[in-house]
Amino acid sequence: MSLDLKTIKHISKLARISVDEKRAEKLAGDLNSIFEFIEKLNELKTDNVEPLTSIAKTTLKLRSDEVKSRNIRDQIIKNSPQDNEDYFVVPKVIE
Amino acid sequence: MSDITKQPLTELVENIKNKKLSSTEVTKAFIDRSEKSEKLNAYITNDFTSALDKSKKFDQKPNFNLKLPGIPMAVKDLFCTKNIKTTAGSKILNNFVPTYESTVTENIWNEGAILLGKLNCDEFAMGSSNETSFFGNVQSPIDKNLVPGGSSGGSASAVAGQLTPVTIGTDTGGSIRQPASFTGIVGLKPTYGSCSRYGIVAFASSLDQAGPMAQNVKDCALLHEVISSYDPKDSTSIDFKRGNYSKELTNNIKGKKIGIPKEYRVDGMPKEIEDLWQKGIQYIKDCGAETIDISLPNTSYALPTYYIVAPAEASSNLARYDGVKYGFRAEGENLIDMYEKTRSEGFGAEVQRRIMIGTYVLSSGYYDAYYLKAQKVRKLIKNDFDEAYKKVDAILTPSTPSSAFKMGEKTNDPVSMYLNDIFTVPVNLAGLPGISIPAGHDSKGYPLGLQIIGKAFDEQNILNIAYAMEEKINFKNKITDWWIK
């Protein structure tokens, strides 16, 4: 398998990382050598193997649904990228 | 008292409790040495002024019942610290000041320790040499222009260089054990679920674990005892009875069965590593334990599996850095353009590479061929360990396939960089505990480490084995203070 520039451009679109031609070429080289290394897994037959999705054999604990963080408005607002009194101001993300 | 910074943690604790030393004296000593050690570039952010204030407050009203009474400590900059900048070694979090504290650091401060500052690391913990940090390389105290390993490179450098008595790092594929091995210190990667991940900047959530790094095994046991706790705020935290690891530490390992996996004898491994391993086997026998040859047949598939699972999880975890709610933002012509420019300018090359790998293996049409396949092989790797642990109590391997390398030596070849973690990655994939202890030097005088891998939740056992071996090995780290002169 070999990743061409078109595929690299496609992945970068999906990943929301802009790459120019020069970076795309470098990335194609790097990713191809990494995938060549990853292809080793094809040596293994895994048809009847259950995928491991969680390493810990525990069931999730239930807890009562109660409010624990009260009056933390100031803490939350503190990381707002822009100051605007009581609002957390961000760029418009919904068209 | 001279040479305060040379004292291991347990000795400092004793000296503070017996009032031979005050917290202020100890804190001042580590601050002085840290200030003289700027060349190492171990710190991203220091909090020295506040640390000194806290130590004075401690001395006015000391509580000697705490496990870390007035002990100063710097931590990896991957742990969120309330009101102290937390960057994960990335430009994208360059201005991020958390309003909350990670559970493991909170456990440490609750036992009386005092934050010295935040330690350098590879960007988002992705790297094996600390060369991917936005804040520059970390120098190893072992030699000039030598990498300290990674991703907890600043942590390793700070402990080996005596800028902090002990520290905590995180380990996703070897990020505690490999730098510990490169700098001649002890590093423990605990069982998955043993230490809370709450408040740790996420890299690969099914693999990430915080753990202690220290000058010796006893210090490591004490710090592990402090940080390991059940935490309802982390859904993967496991509620089990945790030991009093430092109190129960014993060098009596008579009758223990230690497995030696033949698959860890990899092609091209330097003879020095093989010799070290053989010496380790002899030490085990000298301690009255037994070694047994075992097989972990799928070992060579661990690294390819890791380079699917970890990037896949990373690409999902790092999707949150989009320039909208916090962190670095680049201006764009429209929303999509802003996202793409922010992430292109905010992430470094290695992080971008891994996000791209992860995005690809999770993308439509490739999920089964890569991600699902990797999850299946991960199961086989875990089965190998389960099978081995029917016969043995623990496993002994080298920590790394080589000693530390020079800066720039591997930066142009990602695969050769990834091979550093060949012996540590299987442990993360199987969720097991592993400890690296310094065991010798190579011909250049650089430290080499041995790794002891345990059963899940059997930290006490591997700490005991490490403790017994440490006594026999009698390792002396060669720290010349080259960066101070």
pLDDT digits (tens, 9 = 90+) for B375-396: 999 999 999 999 999 999 999 9
ipTM reported for the complex, 2 dp: 0.94
Q: Does residue A11 sit at the B interface (CB-CB below 8 Å)?
A: yes
- Identify the band that residue B285 occupies on the pLDDT scale cut at 50, 70 and 90: very high
Partner-chain residue, chosen from A30, A46, A88, that has the shortest CB–CB distance to B376? A46
Torsion of CA B24, B28, B34, B37, to 10 degrees: -160
Q: Share the mean pLDDT of chain B.
A: 96
Cβ of B343 within 8 Å of Cβ of A12? The answer is no
Tell me, yes or no, if B363 comes closer than 8 A to chain A by beta carbon.
Answer: yes
Beta bridge mates, B45: B118
Pick the residue from chain B with its C-alpha nearest to A77: B99
**Cβ–Cβ < 8 Å for B476, B215:** no
Task: Show Cβ contacts of residue B219 under 8 Å, excluding neighbours closer than 6 positions.
Answer: B8, B9, B10, B165, B166, B186, B212
B175, B181, B228, B315: the catalytic one is B175
Interface residue A8 vs chain B (CB under 8 A): yes
What per-residue confidence (pLDDT) applies to A68? 84
- Within 8 A of A90 by CB-CB distance, chain B residues are 324-325
Q: Kindly list the structural domains of chain B, giving each domain's residue range(s) and its CATH number in brackets, ordered by start.
A: 1-485 (3.90.1300.10)
Q: Is B415 a residue whose pLDDT tops 90? A: no
pLDDT band of residue B2 (cuts 50, 70, 90) is: low
Given a cut of 60, whether residue B1 has pLDDT beyond it is: no
* A80 has a pLDDT exceeding 90: no
Contacts of B204 (CB under 8 A, 6+ apart): B172, B309, B310, B311, B313, B314, B317
Domains of chain A: 5-43 (1.10.20)
CB–CB contacts below 8 A, A to B: 146
| Residues B40, B483 contacting (CB under 8 angstroms) | yes
Please write the tens of the pLDDT for every residue from A1-56.
588 999 999 999 999 999 999 999 999 999 999 999 999 999 999 999 999 988 87
Interface test with B, best of A9, A22, A23, A30 (most B CBs within 10 A): A30
pLDDT at site A79? 86
B76 is catalytic: yes
pLDDT digits (tens, 9 = 90+) for B45-84: 999 999 999 999 999 999 999 999 999 999 999 999 999 9
Q: What is the pLDDT of residue B181?
A: 98
Task: Report the pLDDT averaged over residues B397-422.
Answer: 92
Please give the model's pTM, rounded to 2 decimal places. Answer: 0.97
- Angle between helical axes of B349-362 and A5-15 (0-180°, round to 10): 100
| Confidence band of B287 (pLDDT split at 50, 70, 90) | very high
Interface test with B, best of A34, A53, A65, A66 (most B CBs within 10 A): A34
Letter string b/e over residues B277-300, b meaning 16 or more CB atoms within 10 A of that residue's CB: bebbeebbeebebebeebebebbb
The answer to whether the Cβ–Cβ distance between B376 and A49 falls below 8 Å is yes
Interface of A with B in 46-85 (CB under 8 A): 46, 49-56, 58, 60-61, 63, 72, 75-76, 78-79, 81
In chain A, the N- to C-terminal Cα span, in Å, equals 39
Tell me how close the Cα of B162 comes to any Cα of chain A, in angstroms: 34
Of B193, B335, B357, the CB nearest to A56: B193
Task: Give how far B247 is from chain A: nearest CA, Å.
Answer: 27
pLDDT of amino acid B424: 98
> In the structure, what pLDDT confidence band is assigned to residue A61 with cuts at 50, 70 and 90?
confident
DSSP B129: S
Share above pLDDT 90 across residues of chain B, in percent, rounded to a whole number: 96
In the predicted structure, residue B262 carries a pLDDT above the cut 60: yes
Q: pLDDT for B17-30, tens place per residue? A: 999 999 999 999 99
Instruction: With a cut of 90, say whether residue B238 has pLDDT above it.
Output: yes
User: Which residue among B76, B189, B256, B455 is the active-site one?
Assistant: B76
pLDDT over 70 percentage in chain B:
99
Select which of B34, B151, B399, B403 is catalytic: B151
The predicted pLDDT at position B302 comes to 97
Closest residue of A to B191, CA-based? A56
Tell me the mean pLDDT in the region B310-319. Answer: 98
Q: Give the mean model confidence (pLDDT) for residues B281-286.
A: 97
A75 vs B contacts (CB less than 8 Å): 99-100
| pLDDT tens-place string over residues B393-405 | 999 999 999 999 9
Residue with tokens 């931590």: B75
Say whether pLDDT at B432 is over 60.
yes
Instruction: Give me the amino acid identity at B446.
Output: Y
B454 neighbors B385 (Cβ within 8 angstroms): no
pLDDT of residue B271: 93
| 3-class DSSP state of B458 | coil
Q: Which pLDDT score, from 0 to 100, does residue A86 have?
A: 83
Of the segments A23-32, B218-227, B230-239, B358-367, which one has the largest average pLDDT value?
B218-227
pLDDT at B298 over 70: yes
Q: Do A41 and B372 lie within an 8 Å CB cutoff?
A: no
